[in-house]
Structure 1
Amino acid sequence: MWSTPEAAPPSARLGWSALLAVSGMVLALTAIGRAGWLLYLFPPLCIGLGLILVRRPAAFIVFTLGVWVWAPFVRRIVDWQTEYHQLSSILATPTVLTGLAFLGVGAWRTGLARAPGFAMLGLPLAWALAVGFLNNGIVPAAYALLAWAGPALFGLYVLGAREREPGLEATVLGGLALLAFGASIYGIAQFVEPGMWDRRWMINSGMPVLGEPLPFRVRVFGPLNSPVPFAAVMVAGIIAAILDPRPWRWFLAPTMLVALLLSLVRSEWLALAIGMTAVALVAGVASIGRVVRMFAVVPLVFALGLPLLAYEPIQRAVVSRVESFRAGSSDVSLRDRLILYQTITFEEPILGKGLGSTDNATRLGSGNGRLDPKHGTVDSALIQLATSYGIPMAVAFLAVLAWLATAAVVAGRRSSAGLAGLAIVAASLSQLPSYNMLISAAAVLLYFGLGLSLPVRSSATTAAEEELEASTFPDEFAPGAGLRRT
């Protein structure tokens, strides 16, 4: 017989409650002019809540994703009320929080049993860690290990949790869509009238890619630090909303689409197309209903987004960026990236420079909290891999990722959540040449996608979902849609 489950598992509600508790603290301290206290209160509160939630997978996953999306915003609030901090404990918080997945031993060990390929990532990581200890010091190398290994462990945690907690896929996928929707609302408001904290960040960070701290001149980065990770969150959120079997989730996608366009990150626009195309290509006969539904929803998403896109300042910004696709040799960002790949040389092409030699970890070894001017500012995952791991180990790392992605192609077609995970993986991997999708929020999304799409032993959820798909088209939208057999 059919029975109606709760709207969300209790553990998912605990995750949202934890995010609300943290938000309440941030708002209260900001309102009384004591946002500086967040430097000392935000990390232990988030980590403490993570320790409590790690045994409740749906809650921990939603909470971790939420902290990744909103922690940079909290950092900006603190800097606005105090001073600009080159090193901020707030930005380290989501990295440490993700590493807490290690304490969910039952979940990640189950995930490792289902996808033993993850264990092969340990060899290049161990190599780069050892070299990093020698070259860069213990603290930068250890932090870089968390940044590189934490998201992979999180993906294993998601994979194992799917088997241990029925219905988790729909809960966490819906959670991702809601988090991305909230970020998109903030992003559009930021474009129209950037807050003082955003303007201060744009000036202090010295990042030309952010645009100008003026209305309608911002290259939208939402609550995140820069446009690329924000765009990656929008892509994942759009995929999650469109492939969610619950129709009301689709109405979240238009706002995310507009925010994605306002980020002006053309490579992520293409990534969304690549992710959707991957779904269409790999979906089997059993999933054809999902694919037809997905492509039926896409025009609806564009149509619902037209009122915002018709707003003249938004239209002007987006059309100008679209026209740059035809710019060819006059495209400055494309030309600079091509020059980078043509002129790049590696100081240690075989051994590598080790973990801690690239990206934000270089702040910990610089002595002044600043990025290394040579290795800390290169976005490309391929270049950062070769720099940190050496070319042989970088190739091994990429080979393992390709193997895992191939396994996801085979298994992901069996459910809507699996297809969404597969689309997120395809979109993320397509960005490796232009952005480091293997660390930070982008990496969490990549491995989250793998965790959703790789196979698990239990098929109860999948069977129920396929039974729904086999029903007549109108019944999918009936009040009983989305119920599971008990």
Structure 2
Amino acid sequence: MSRMLVTPSSAQVRLPMPARASAAAEPARAAKFAAAKPVAGVRAQGLRHPLRLPLLLFGATLALILLHQGHLAEYLFPLGAFAVALVLYLRSPAHYLGFVCWLFFLAPEVRRLADFANGSFNQQSLIMIAPLAAVALTGLTLLKHMSKLGQRRAAPLVLIVAALLYAFVIGFAQVGPGAAIYALITWLYPVMVAFYLVVTWRHYPDYHRVLLKTFIYGGLLMSVYGLVEFVAPMPWDAFWLIASKMASEGHPVPFGMRVSSTMNSSGPFAVTLMAILLMSFAARGKMRIVLGCVGVPVLLFTSVRSAWGGFAVALVYLFLMLNGRNRLRLLAGAIGLAVMATPLMMIDQIAAPVIARFDTMQNIGQDTSYQARTEFYKTFFSSALSNIAGEGLGTTGLGTKLSDNSAAPAMLDFDSGLMEVPFVMGWPGTLLYVSGVLMMLWRAFRASRQRPGDLLANAGVGVAVSIVTMMVFVNTLTSVSGMFFFICATLPVISLRYAREGRDTSRMVPSRNAG
């Protein structure tokens, strides 16, 4: 007796079925797996043109800005982004997550354009709500699949969420609801994205395809724009830099800005570009090469040394973990980029800020940033480790601006993620949070070793490791950088699960033509 094999690509091949599957049980099992099988492309869900709605949203927003209707764009963009995200959430998980990434890439630039069109800098622009509103839809997945939290594969996320809820309660009592809720959102939504991936693991082939395209084209767009920003800053970028009073981002003159491209500042952009460049190693085609040629110099122009170090750590990890052929590809790509970048670094105006930044890494004694961070470690090391209960969420970062208690300890700029975790969460929360993060890293590493041919999974582990090492300088497990960590640490796990279970369950789906 034979049955038809229905693969995720809808290809049908006849394979013999095991004799132990009884004829009476097969219809029920087939119905069960048919309801749970991977979606073979978004057309099966009725979404024929997944890019049409996002392009329409960004096009309409740009039209309003060109018509000097920036105030109207501030309302249209977040509402439209939520509507588009909802449609994609219901129709195609992979395109939904890709759209969320695009929102984080471009929303700050939309805000700058709207402020420039309005002629005034808005401290609390509604446009910045758009990516948060879109990613909040992952909360529906949590409500719908709450029972999956009891499964072993969700254990790391449960530990992390428990730590965040503990710190939230402490922060709520310390600084009030506003600061605690804002901080909880920035810490929690990357975890929610990871849970969303765990639940929708059957769509891994779509994630592999859509996320790679998102990273390649998104990274190329941001890199080209960043290169233009470095050479000749746009008027709206200069306006934003002056109005925001971010002195650390440089001066709005040619070759004087630290590149932030379409994102809020150079720090988040550098981590994002670093992750994109590493993940692009799993792609094929010429666009990947173009991205490397443009993206690596732009990463240098951000002058974010922690991102440079994280990039180097990830490259070393990949070189050690990949097989011989892919190791040669990586080495050849690195040498090729170095050769092509050499003429560029001979131009004094371009090379000067990069060389000056590298010099600070060699002359640590004269580096004011290093000295300030060293003093910070001396001051907060004992207090962070001796405060058993912790100060709670909302006592660090931008959430401090919403604090109801001016007497509570608050640090707007916390120069160490390693210290921020115990300072905020205390001993109980730190034990839970660190255990969850380390468990995620271990599972991702183990899964990637069992799937050596999946370059996206292996590159994901490299990105996750690099982001964790950057915790020495700043907290990289929150906001956009945190989202990249949790995505990259989860992709290898769902890749392995799909390889093990996805194809096995698809064999149980009989063809309509089977007789």
What TM-score bracket applies, with the shorter chain setting the length? 0.7 to 0.9
* 1:168 and 2:207 aligned: yes
Selected match of 1:323 from 359, 366, 391: 359
Partner of 1:459: 499
CA deviations on 1:109-146 (whole Å, 9 max, x unpaired) are 77966343211112211111212222222233222222
Instruction: Say if 2:288 is the partner of 1:249.
Output: yes
Report the Cα distance in structure 2 between the residues aligned to 1:338 and 1:17, rounded to whole angstroms.
Answer: 50
Q: Distance in 1 between matches of 2:295 and 2:148?
A: 34
Structure 1 pair 110–240 and aligned structure 2 pair: CA distance change class (3 A): farther
Q: Is the CA contact (8 Å cut-off) linking 2:95 and 2:210 kept in structure 1? A: no
SS in 1 for 2:403: helix
2:127 counterpart of 1:87: no
Give the equivalent residue in structure 1 for 2:14: none
Q: Aligned pair in 2 of structure 1 residues 310, 241: CA closer, same or farther (>3 Å)?
A: farther
Equivalent position to 2:391, from 353, 358, 378:
353
Question: Does the 8 Å CA contact 2:176/2:405 hold for their aligned counterparts?
Answer: no
Letter of the 1:100 counterpart: L
Residue 4 of structure 1 and its aligned partner are, at CA, apart by 11
Using the size of structure 2 for normalisation, the TM-score is: 0.81
Letter in 2 for 1:50: A
| In structure 2, C-alpha distance between the alignment counterparts of 1:73 and 1:408, rounded to whole Å | 33
Q: What code does the residue aligned with 1:163 have?
A: R
> Separation in 1 of the partners of 2:178 and 2:277?
37
Q: What per-residue deviation string (whole Å, max 9, x for no partner) do you get for residues 26-81 of structure 1? A: 21111111112222222111112111111311111110111111111122222223
| Pairing partner for 2:160 from 108, 121, 140 | 121
Alpha carbons of structure 1 residues 180 and 107: separation in structure 2 relative to 1, 3 Å = farther
Q: CA deviation at 1:292?
A: 2.8
Supply the distance in 2 between the matched residues of 1:231 and 1:140 (Cα, whole angstroms).
27
- Opposite residue 293 of structure 1, the aligned amino acid is R
Range with greater deviation from structure 2 (443-452 or 39-48): 39-48
Which amino acid in the other structure matches residue 374 of structure 2?
L
Which residue number in structure 1 is paired with residue 65 of structure 2? 30
1:411 aligns with 2:450: no
Q: Could you tell me which amino acid in structure 1 is paired with residue 391 of structure 2?
A: K
Distance 2:229 2:10 in 1: 40
CA deviation after TM superposition for structure 1 residue 461, in Å: 11
Letter in 2 for 1:102: G
1:60 corresponding residue in structure 2: 96
Name the counterpart of 1:482: none
Tell me the secondary structure at the aligned position of residue 222 of structure 1.
Answer: coil
Please show how residues 63-462 of structure 1 align to structure 2 within 5 Å: 63-82=99-118, 83-104=120-141, 114-246=153-285, 248-283=287-322, 287-306=323-342, 308-344=344-380, 346=383, 349-365=387-403, 374-413=410-449, 414=451, 415-455=454-494, 456-459=496-499
Q: What secondary structure is seen at the aligned counterpart in 1 of 2:111?
A: helix
> How large is the Cα RMSD of the aligned pairs?
3.1
Separation of aligned partners in 2, 1:453 and 1:391:
30
- Kindly state the Cα deviation for residue 367 of structure 1 after the two structures are TM-superposed: 10
Mean Cα displacement is larger for which, 110-119 or 389-398? 110-119
User: For residues 107 and 173 of structure 1, do their structure 2 counterparts lie closer, same or farther at Cα, with a shift above 3 Å needed?
Assistant: farther
The alignment partner of 1:142 has SS state of: helix
CA contact (8 A) 1:353 1:387 kept: yes
CA contact (8 A) 1:101 1:108 kept: no
Q: Is the 8 A contact 1:404 1:450 kept in 2?
A: yes
AA at the equivalent of 1:318: V
Distance 1:380 1:13 in 2: 46
Structure 1: gaps spanning 5 or more residues: 464-486
Matched residue of 1:432: which SS?
A: helix
Per the alignment, in what secondary structure is the counterpart of residue 376 of structure 1? coil
Question: For the residues of structure 2 that align with 1:296 and 1:316, how far apart are their CA atoms?
Answer: 27
TM-score (norm 1): 0.85
**What's the CA shift for 1:220?**
0.9
CA distance in 2, matches of 1:384, 1:460: 39
Task: Name the SS of the counterpart of 2:336 in structure 1.
Answer: helix
- What is the CA distance between 1:433 and its match in structure 2? 1.7
Larger deviation: 301-310 or 354-363?
A: 301-310
Identical-residue share of aligned pairs (%)? 25
Distance across 2 between alignment mates of 1:418 and 1:222: 27
Tell me if the contact between 2:189 and 2:479 (Cα under 8 Å) persists in the aligned partners. Answer: no
How many residue pairs were aligned? 456
**Distance change (3 Å), C-alpha of 1:108 and 1:147:** farther
Q: Identify the range of structure 1 (247-256 vs 321-330) with the bigger mean alpha-carbon deviation.
A: 247-256
Instruction: Give the Cα separation in 1 of the matches to 2:59 and 2:147.
Output: 35
Query: What does the per-residue CA deviation read over 1:159-184, in whole Å, with 9 as the maximum and x for residues that have no partner?
Result: 44343353422321231122122111
1:20 aligns with 2:55: yes
User: Residue 458 and residue 349 in structure 1: after superposition, are their counterparts in 2 closer, same or farther (change >3 A)?
Assistant: same
Name the residue aligned to 1:475: none
Q: Which moved more, 1:452-461 or 1:67-76?
A: 452-461
**Which stretch of the first structure deviates more once superposed, 318-327 or 97-106?**
97-106
Partners of 1:176 and 1:156 in 2: CA distance: 21
The offset of 1:248, in angstroms, is 4.2
Residues in 1 aligned to 2:405 and 2:71: alpha-carbon distance in whole angstroms = 23
Provide the rounded CA distance (Å) in 1 between the counterparts of 2:293 and 2:196: 31
Distance 1:19 1:164 in 2: 21
Structure 2 vs 1, CA of residues 62 and 425 (structure 1 numbering), >3 Å: closer, same or farther?
same
Deviation track 1:67-107 (CA, whole Å, cap 9, x = no partner) reads 11111112222222332222222223323322212224578
1:474 corresponds to which residue? none
Q: Which residue of 1 aligns with 2:25?
A: none
Counterpart code for 1:404 = M
For 2:397, the aligned partner's letter is D
Return the alpha-carbon distance in structure 2 between the equivalents of residues 216 and 373 of structure 1: 38
